[in-house]
Amino acid sequence: MPDLSSWLASRLAEVDQAQLRRRLRVVDSPQLTTVRQHGRELANFSSNDYLGLASDDRLREAALVAIDEWGVGSGASRLISGTQRPHEQLEHAIADFKSVEAALVFANGFAAAIGTIPAIVGKGDVIILDKLSHACLVDGARMSGATLRVFPHNRLQRLEDHLRWARKTHPLANILVITESVFSMDGDRAPLREIVELKERYGAWLLLDEAHAMGVIGAQGRGLAWECGVADRVELQMGTLGKALGASGGYIAGSCCLIDWLINRARAFIFSTAPPAAIAAAATAAIEIVRSEAGERLRDRLWANIRNCSAEAESAIIPVLIGDAGEAVAASERLLDAGFWVPAVRFPTVPKGGARLRISLSAAHTDEQINHLKNEVFREL
């Protein structure tokens, strides 16, 4: 057996060979629409901070006030050392925002997924998920031990085939359909009304991940389920507080029974130290902004930026398909040289041969930044 480091060095060499090596880039500034990297200012098109709230003064202030009152660390998991008031306030704010009975906050969206899915379904049950579902949904589904079926992205006929199969071969099973509102690497939306109709026809439940829709889509930024008028028919509404909300954390929103069950069964909640109260306070401040007139103006501004970039875009994520991983990385490097940070996304985040540039837009981008970006990206194509 080789020693670990030399074994890993040869594995890394293979990753390099395939043009799939990932490296961290150090940034010396907050997530604004320009960031400083190695002393250079770059126009930032990499962040999911869609409304420009990640370094907003109101969120900073809420966090600072909470640090003064609560300190930094939370001590233990909430079941052990108690729920600090800001977490409870945040959960009320989420439930109210989503017009559901209750919500539960996790350390992040990833933890919400891997905590919730195995708590709801298990061996003998069936999960049917969209092929492009986020890694945390896939991992949660695998961890559950349920039988997995994957349908091609947004293909309703194939989803229905799986539902029919599941009902026939597993008559007593619970069936959970999993999809996203806005797909994180393609920026397109799920045909949600039709999916809700289908899951109801076959007596299945639906987990909808609103990570990229929360704050961006629907009245007050309530998400796609709200926009489609089916929010009260989606049993598990999931999302993150780390994207448009500019803070950090993940949530599940739904019925009181669902939340009480998760408090008792979601391992990523039970066995993990509660996030700092200051983060919860910042997220609560973000929800207030997102729901307000000021939030509406930010969304108008974001959608104007999206329209300026692309007539067909369905969200703030605009993929520019390149195909080859090495070429996508080279294109991203050339954009860096020109002063734009637009990440290249490669396998396994997207399928092999599907490498792309991923442009994320923010309400805070100026027309000038976007017009410059368009010129540079078109030059790449």
Ligand X SMILES: *Cc1c(COP(=O)(O)O)cnc(C)c1O
242 binds ligand X (CB under 6 A): yes
Q: Which two tokens stand for residue 295?
A: 């939030």
Minimum Å gap between C-beta 373 and ligand X is 22
In the bound state with ligand X, the residue whose beta carbon lies nearer, of 166 and 357, is: 357
Binding-site residue total for ligand X (CB under 6 A)?
13
- Residue spans of beta strands (DSSP E) within 157-309: 175-180, 205-209, 236-240, 250-254
Q: Which of 184, 248, 332, 362 is an active site residue?
A: 184
Q: Which of 98, 162, 199, 243 is an active site residue?
A: 243
Q: In what order do the strands lie in the sheet with 205-209?
A: 102-106, 250-254, 236-240, 205-209, 175-180, 126-130, 147-151
In the bound state with ligand X, the residue whose beta carbon lies nearer, of 50 and 202, is: 50
**Residue that has been written with the tokens 């800001």 in this structure:** 86
276 binds ligand X (CB under 6 A): no
240 binds ligand X (CB under 6 A): yes
Count of CB atoms within 10 A of residue 358's CB?
Answer: 22
Interactions with ligand X, residue window 152-211 (CB under 6 A): 180, 184, 209, 211
Minimum Å gap between C-beta 211 and ligand X is 3
109 binds ligand X (CB under 6 A): yes
- The region of 51-59, 61-69, 106-114, 312-320 touching ligand X under the rule CB under 6 A is 106-114
Q: Which residues pair with 238 in a beta bridge?
A: 209, 252
Q: Is 243 noted as a catalytic residue in this protein?
A: yes
Count of CB atoms within 10 A of residue 124's CB?
Answer: 12
The C-alpha angle with vertex 146 and arms to 143 and 151, in degrees rounded to 5, equals: 100
**Sequence-ordered alpha helix ranges (H) in 292-366:** 293-309, 325-337
Provide the pairing of β-strand 102-106 with 340-341. unpaired
Q: Is 184 noted as a catalytic residue in this protein?
A: yes
Minimum Å gap between C-beta 323 and ligand X is 22
Minimum Å gap between C-beta 244 and ligand X is 11
- 45, 50, 110, 269: which one binds ligand X (CB under 6 A): 110
Minimum Å gap between C-beta 234 and ligand X is 15
State the Cα–Cα distance between residues 340 and 44, nearest whole angstrom.
6
319 binds ligand X (CB under 6 A): no
Minimum Å gap between C-beta 247 and ligand X is 10
Element (H, E) at 375: helix 367-380
Residues in the chain: 381
Element (H, E) at 117: helix 109-120
**Residue that has been written with the tokens 């803070």 in this structure:** 247
For residues 244 to 273, the per-residue mask of contacts with ligand X, x marking binding by CB under 6 A and - elsewhere, is ------x-----------------------
User: Which chain residues interact with ligand X by CB under 6 A?
Assistant: 108-110, 134, 136, 180, 184, 209, 211-212, 240, 242, 250
Catalytic residues: 184, 212, 243
